Structure 1
Amino acid sequence: MRTQILLSLLIPFAVGITAAHAATIGPRPFFLVDQMQQGPLKEQLSACAADFLAGKKLETTLFSIGHRGAPLQFPEHTAQSYKAAAQMGAGIVECDVTFTKDKQLVCRHSQADLHTTTNILTTDLAAKCTTPFEPATKHSKANAKCLTSDITLAEFQSLKGKMDAADKTATTPKEYIKGTAGWRTDLYAATSGTLMTHKDSITLLKQLGVKFTPELKSPSVTMPYDGMSQENYAQMLIDDYKTAGVPASDVWVQSFNLDDILYWIKHEPAFGKQAVYLDGRNSKQIDIMDANSFKPSMQALKDMGVNYIAPPLWMLVTAQDGKIVPSIYATQAKAAGLNIIAWSLERSGPLTTGGGWYYQSINNIVDNDGAVYELLDVLANRIGVSNVFSDWPATTTFFANCMGLK
């Protein structure tokens, strides 16, 4: 029996998995339930946990989106991270899309993050970085800046992925690329993650049986870039799915740039129908409890043809009488008929001290890791979000299965 269990965990990473397989979520969801405060929600999730521990099958769910894969423990945007997300039941997995010097699309969270997410500083390619490594001194922190547009696709593919981190006190590149947060780990694929081109990600995710949510990242270089306009860039992303024969209904293209969304709505309406406007307006630009501060308004966005809006977690909720409740932002978005996707669960680390930036509207009432399920309950059952990004999709997969969410 022990051998069979071990094989069931190892085979997916060896030969790939499909959505037809049951999800494998590990102990974390159950740990989080144990941390919850006593109440009806904990009782419901505890009973559900008992059913799954007794052998009930966990299903892959579109509610659960792998944010950059599963970067709580696997280097983001690597084959290992994508496979882990799919194994944990994420029905949709994200590739953030940027481009190389020779204008090839690759999966990176930022065009300017190679120095923190890969081993580039310890390779010969370090000399090509926009800002080569600068050691820390008594008066300054260590620094570096390496763009995907600093190198060609072939050079990009020679690199290895690592956990997103940097040691600002470092005096050598080898020291600098360390610094992984204590609540993450270098146990899996440390400095050896397999980087992905956008086309590679499509091939892999098709094999894994999951759907796609690519984000067109804002360039760190001036556009047009070597003759490539922003519109060309947006079209290239869509063309990769069309060439691969992926139906538009399986793709949720994303951008923080509303003009990108409107471009897709106009020029690629099948993909534009599910285009996701990432709302990056911060608290200085928008008051989540004042509908008059939403510019453009939710209804205006809907009238433009936008069907999906995706704000950070904190914009959707507020605290009231010690409880997490929907914000005006959330109720206005739903009233306008917008589908809501929330980002990103389990990005902030432990919640014992308020949860950090992603929980800023409810920091004063968040004091334990189990609060993640209180938040999910409000998002799913009171607001009605369609999907939730997570750095550890097992958490959202478990919740969706318990609540009957698809």
Structure 2
Amino acid sequence: MRATELLARRPATRLPRPVVIGHRGAPAYRPEHTTASFELAIDLGADLIEPDVVVSRDGVLVVRHESELSLSTDVAEHPEFADRHTTKVVDGSLCTGWFTEDFTYAELRTLRAVERMPAMRPLNTAYDGRYGILTLAEVIELARCRSTADRRIRVLAELKNPDVDGDAGVHMGALVAEELRRLGTDRADGTVLIQSFDPALLRDLRARLGDGGPQMAQLIPDAPTGDAMVTPSGLREISTYAQAIAPSRERVLTSAAGTRAGRAHLVGQAHAAQLSVFVWTLRAENAFLPAHLRRGDAPEGLGDAVGDAQELLALGVDGLITDSPDHAVRARTAMTLVSSRR
């Protein structure tokens, strides 16, 4: 049985091997959320591709890291949209820019994707303007088209901004449930898994789609916001509506380092609650790595990303959400070889 097929079991158990999840595709090498990024992630060995999902003004589910568009598209170069420039409260903070919920899907299709971190990934800017904005449906179709009899590609969709509804006036949960039914992927063994930081949204989807609906992962905010979620009682509560948790790499490593002898760290506690553990987000640049894995002084320089992945795999995580799937695949292969020799 393939590793990704084990995700369809309820409740979740340990997978036979960890899955590699292409975070917004393979944004270490191509601008995120583009066709090129998702296709490359699959070519590099990702088992799942992970798009972020936001909503257009007319209720279309599109993929962007966040609803604000100026960092990842050329919206600022479109004078016809100058009047859409505005300031909103996003996640409790003021944010100024252009927002997907103020654009129809047809208008969003006129924008082109650009590299979101050009200073960190200057080579990716060579692809600026080549690709448009995708819908969730298009990403699902891409995964299906790239799947084979021997290798099934699935989509781990992260739902963003559930309270932003645009003119459609429909909550994201209703939009997602309707779209998954339309695409025939509203079952536990379907192409799509769902994750979100918002437990209410995941509960809403579970109620709409039932216990046989898509597998779900509860994203865990960093400390102190998400601390209550990773207590034994918090993990048990999550297991009533989800099959996995998705904490940050920092939370997992900190938990392991601070655990006293004889007690399980976060990964072990999650497994005891019948929850898989997907860790976010692995990046190869020095700026995102701990000191002992950096190579050189340049923040944009590449460090030991394979070593980073191996440290997490050694703790028993079930999935790595990564900007460079090739590094995670190499780490998984190396760990498998070591294990087979014991």
TM-score normalised over the length of structure 1: 0.65
Question: Which residue identity is paired with 2:137?
Answer: K
Deviations 1:129-187 (A, max 9, x none): 2329xxxxxxxxxx95111112111111111101114xxxxxxxxxxxxxx12444235
Q: Does 1:215 align with 2:158?
A: yes
Counterpart residue number, 2:225: 285
Classify 1:207/1:253 alpha carbon distance in 2 versus 1 (closer, same or farther; 3 Å). same
Deviations 1:90-141 (A, max 9, x none): 11111211111111111111112x1110111112343242329xxxxxxxxx
Q: Is the 8 A contact 1:264 1:271 kept in 2?
A: no
Identical positions, percent: 24
| Cα displacement (A) at 1:327 | 8.0
Whole-angstrom distance in 2 between the partners of 1:94 and 1:246:
18
Whole-angstrom distance in 2 between the partners of 1:95 and 1:311:
17
Whole-angstrom distance in 1 between the partners of 2:163 and 2:205:
21
Structure 2: runs of 5 or more not aligned: 3-16, 88-94, 148-152, 296-301, 338-342
| Cα displacement (A) at 1:320 | 4.8
| Cα displacement (A) at 1:400 | 2.2
Q: Is the 8 A contact 1:265 1:272 kept in 2?
A: yes
| Cα displacement (A) at 1:251 | 2.1
Counterpart residue number, 1:129: 84
Q: Is the 8 A contact 1:118 1:162 kept in 2?
A: yes
Counterpart residue number, 1:169: none
Q: Does 1:190 align with 2:128?
A: yes
Deviations 1:276-305 (A, max 9, x none): 11112x223356xxx897385212222x23
Counterpart residue number, 2:67: 111
Classify 1:103/1:345 alpha carbon distance in 2 versus 1 (closer, same or farther; 3 Å). same
Whole-angstrom distance in 2 between the partners of 1:378 and 1:239:
39
Query: Is the deviation greater in 119-128 or in 84-93?
Result: 119-128
Classify 1:331/1:125 alpha carbon distance in 2 versus 1 (closer, same or farther; 3 Å). farther
Counterpart residue number, 2:252: 316
Deviations 1:298-337 (A, max 9, x none): 12222x232110011111013759xxxx983333222222
SS in 1 for 2:321: strand
TM-score normalised over the length of structure 2: 0.76
Counterpart residue number, 2:198: 257
| Cα root mean square deviation, aligned | 3.2
Whole-angstrom distance in 1 between the partners of 2:111 and 2:214:
36
Counterpart residue number, 2:174: 232
SS in 1 for 2:269: helix
Classify 1:98/1:293 alpha carbon distance in 2 versus 1 (closer, same or farther; 3 Å). closer
SS in 1 for 2:71: helix
The higher radius of gyration belongs to 1
Deviations 1:13-49 (A, max 9, x none): xxxxxx9xxxxxxxxxxxxxxxxxxxxxxxxxxxxxx
Whole-angstrom distance in 1 between the partners of 2:205 and 2:186:
18
Structure 1: runs of 5 or more not aligned: 1-18, 20-60, 133-142, 166-179
SS in 1 for 2:124: coil
Q: Is the 8 A contact 1:341 1:386 kept in 2?
A: yes
Classify 1:374/1:188 alpha carbon distance in 2 versus 1 (closer, same or farther; 3 Å). same
Whole-angstrom distance in 1 between the partners of 2:226 and 2:171:
30
Classify 1:186/1:278 alpha carbon distance in 2 versus 1 (closer, same or farther; 3 Å). same
Classify 1:158/1:308 alpha carbon distance in 2 versus 1 (closer, same or farther; 3 Å). same
Q: Is the 8 A contact 1:212 1:252 kept in 2?
A: yes
Match of 1:90 among 18, 26, 46: 46
Classify 1:385/1:273 alpha carbon distance in 2 versus 1 (closer, same or farther; 3 Å). farther
| Cα displacement (A) at 1:220 | 6.8
Q: Is the 8 A contact 2:50 2:155 kept in 1?
A: yes
Question: Which residue identity is paired with 1:155?
Answer: E
Q: Is the 8 A contact 1:73 1:184 kept in 2?
A: no
Question: Which residue identity is paired with 1:153?
Answer: Y
Classify 1:66/1:364 alpha carbon distance in 2 versus 1 (closer, same or farther; 3 Å). closer
Match of 1:345 among 282, 297, 305: 282
Counterpart residue number, 2:314: 381
Q: Is the 8 A contact 1:163 1:186 kept in 2?
A: yes
Q: Is the 8 A contact 1:253 1:271 kept in 2?
A: no
Whole-angstrom distance in 2 between the partners of 1:292 and 1:120:
37
Counterpart residue number, 1:31: none
Q: Is the 8 A contact 2:53 2:65 kept in 1?
A: yes
Q: Does 1:335 align with 2:269?
A: no
Question: Which residue identity is paired with 2:40?
Answer: A
SS in 1 for 2:268: helix
Whole-angstrom distance in 2 between the partners of 1:292 and 1:251:
24
Whole-angstrom distance in 2 between the partners of 1:159 and 1:224:
19
For residues 346-365 of structure 1, what are the structure 2 equivalents within 5 Å? 346=283, 349-350=285-286, 355=288, 363=290, 365=292
